[in-house]
Chain A
Amino acid sequence: MTSHSAPASVTIKDLHKSYGEVEVLKGIDINVSPGEVVCLIGPSGSGKSTLLRCVNLLETPNSGLIEVAGHSVTDPDVNIDKMRTNVGMVFQQFNLFSHLTVLENCTVAQIKVLKRSKAEAQKIALENLEKVGLADKAGRHPDQLSGGQQQRVAIARALSMDPQLMLFDEPTSALDPETVGDVLSIMRQLAAEGMTMIVVTHEMAFARDVADRVVFMDGGVVVEEGPAHEVIGNPQHQRTQLFLSRVLNPTAQ
């Protein structure tokens, strides 16, 4: 276990986001307790990524409030770079730095942003690479790794910053099916260690087994939320039922 920071809570209140005329988030309220794992599910285009990206301000909300560990993120005078060091983000397309080795990917921000010494940064990076099972690939470049391996490095890179919160945006959607399991099992382990996690995913088995809570979004609003087994096992709203039946039985008519 290499994360020493206490897990953060997340509060999202009446969040609105528009692109031009189009309102993509229409008043979102979500609370995440420290150490809780929340899965965001919903059809493509429902605003899941936008919501996740608002939490670390890759997108600027139009109105509403977001707090991470009690600190307002939406305050216009927030030190955004400092806030982001506490929030790890894992992207669908991995986004590893292609000109750096695996080890350098995991040390560069530690050294340049957290001002850790190179030796300390490497030690922490190797611990996290060990954790994702890729310490032996430390000297490789990202293009020499499979998609699943790249995503595991991306997780190690984020963890090397000792985040209090991890955001995952469809981390397994770009992977070959046989590598999905490795990534999910690392996320599962992270959840068990008590990390606060918000995960956008289409992996319903993962959501059911790992998430404390599932939030179903459609058309920029939260349609239904609750304990994972309830939302997935016994959805109340028709839109949730329709979505789940499509995801769980893609070939059925």
Chain B
Amino acid sequence: MALSPRQKQNYWRYSQYALLALIAIVLVIVADWGTLRDKVFNPDIIAHQFPGVITVALKNTLIYTALGFVVGLSLGVLLALMKISSIAPYRWISTLYIELFRGLPALLVFIAFGYGIPLAFGLRLNNYVTVMLALGMVSAAYIGEVLRAGLEAVPKGQYEAARSLGMGHSRAMMTVIIPQAFRIVLPPLTNEIILLTKDSSLVYLLGMSVAQYELTKFGREGISASGAGLTPLVVAGACYLIITVPLGLLARHFEKRAGARSRK
């Protein structure tokens, strides 16, 4: 008996669910629950990570991210405005900067600021300053591009309408273009904060005091101290997700809102 297209589709769907269920059952049977519990989700070690993982590590990760973001956003605004400027050398400088810092691994920039510059110029930067500069200068390149795209996505007619009402260039930018660009860039900007949160783990390279540990370094030290496998990293990882997952949801929310507006 031939199946109708709808029956075929249902049949196909149910067989996918059956396959997934089978894989789950096999995993449950095969897994070594004792070892997993001991080495990955060890409750004693998890307990031992608290409260430091929150009061020190998570806090520092947030601080480093915020410091990097402040520099990244300020410099990014400047880069974006330079990139759409009518003055050609500004555009060249901005393009050069963006291509340079987007093209280099963030790790290399951290090493440059953490070791290269102190050695080359004999100046020892405060750790926080290093973090601000390294994280900020890398993220500025990405944020600058996001902002430029946002500014260019505002329809040209908005600028012309503002000018024809007697607003000057700067007034039109401040009153009409930048507020609209800001709405457009909220989702990609939120994604940049997620990337920045993860990149803040590179601070791990710098010689930090215990009170300056962020999540990755904290997890790394946790492994050395306890010798107990993955558990400290699992805790640190969960803390990253506590930051990044809500940000991801927020970005999706902004995206939906923007979509609902532009659809009309």
Which chain A residues have a beta carbon within 8 Å of chain B's beta carbons? 56, 58, 81-82, 84-85, 87-89, 91, 93, 95-99, 108-109, 112-114, 143-144, 154, 157-158, 161
Question: Which residues of chain B are within 8 angstroms of A95 by Cβ–Cβ distance?
Answer: 155, 157-158, 160-161
Q: Chain A nearest CB: distance from B107 CB in Å?
A: 39
In angstroms, how far is the closest chain A Cβ from the Cβ of B178? 10
Q: Which residues of B are found within 8 Å of A82, using beta-carbon distances?
A: 166
Q: How far is the CA of A136 from the CA of B175 in the complex (A)?
A: 25
B15 within 8 A of A: no
> 5 tightest CB-CB pairs across the interface, nearest first?
A85-B166, A109-B165, A95-B161, A95-B157, A89-B164
Question: With A81-B168, A143-B264 as given contacts, are A97 and B157 in contact (CB-CB < 8 Å)?
Answer: no
Chain B interface, >50% SS class: helix
Bound Cα distance from A158 to B180, whole angstroms: 21
Determine which of A93, A99, A161 lies in contact with B166 in the assembled complex, contact meaning CB atoms within 8 Å: A161
For residue B168, which residues in chain A have a CB less than 8 angstroms away from its CB?
81
Quick one: which of B161, B163, B167, B179 contacts A99, CB cutoff 8 A? B179
Is B253 positioned at the interface, with any CB of A under 8 Å from its CB?
A: no
Q: How far is the CA of A98 from the CA of B155 in the complex (A)?
A: 10
A98 with B164: CB separation less than 8 A: no
C-alpha spacing A82/B163, complex, angstroms = 11
User: Residue among A56, A95, A114, A144 with the most chain B CB within 10 A?
Assistant: A95
Instruction: Show 28 A/B contacts (Cβ-Cβ < 8 Å), sorted by A.
Output: A58-B160, A81-B166, A84-B164, A84-B166, A85-B165, A85-B166, A88-B164, A89-B160, A89-B161, A89-B164, A91-B157, A91-B161, A95-B157, A95-B158, A97-B161, A97-B176, A98-B158, A98-B180, A98-B261, A99-B176, A99-B179, A108-B175, A109-B165, A113-B167, A143-B261, A158-B165, A161-B165, A161-B166
- Chain B residues near A109 (CB, 8 Å)? 162, 165-167
Instruction: Give the interface of B toward A (CB within 8 A).
Output: 155, 157-158, 160-168, 171, 175-176, 179-180, 183, 261, 264
From known contacts A99-B180, A112-B171, A143-B264, infer whether A157 and B165 are also in contact, taking CB-CB under 8 Å: yes
Q: Report the minimum CB–CB distance from A136 to chain B (whole Å).
A: 19
Centre residue among B158, B165, B175 by max chain A CB count within 10 A: B165
Q: How far is the CA of A111 from the CA of B175 in the complex (A)?
A: 11
Closest B-chain residue to A157, C-beta based? Answer: B165
In contact, A113 and B166 (Cβ under 8 angstroms)? yes
Q: Which residue of A lies closest to B159 (CB)?
A: A95
**Residue from the list A91, A98, A113 in contact with B160, Cβ < 8 A:** A91
Contacts of B166 in A (CB 8 A): 81-82, 84-85, 109, 113-114, 161
Point out which of A56, A109, A154, A158 has the most chain B C-beta atoms below 10 A from its C-beta: A109
With both chains docked as a complex, state the minimum distance between the C-beta of A8 and any C-beta of chain B, in angstroms. 15
- Assess whether A81 is in contact with B164, with CB atoms less than 8 Å apart: no
The distance in angstroms between the C-alpha atoms of A81 and B179, with both chains bound, is 21
**A161–B166 Cα gap in the complex (Å)?**
9
Do A113 and B157 have beta carbons less than 8 Å apart? no
Residue of A nearest to B164 (CB): A89
Query: A58: which B residues are within 8 A, CB to CB?
Result: 160, 163-164
Q: How far is the CA of A157 from the CA of B155 in the complex (A)?
A: 19
Apart from the given pairs A81-B167, A91-B161, 19 other A-B contacts in the complex at a CB distance below 8 Å: A56-B164, A81-B168, A84-B165, A89-B161, A93-B155, A93-B157, A95-B160, A95-B161, A97-B158, A98-B261, A99-B176, A99-B183, A108-B165, A109-B165, A109-B167, A112-B167, A112-B171, A154-B161, A161-B166
Q: A84 near B163 (CB under 8 angstroms)?
A: yes
By beta carbon, the residue of chain B nearest A91 is B157
A144 cross-chain contacts in B, Cβ below 8 A:
264
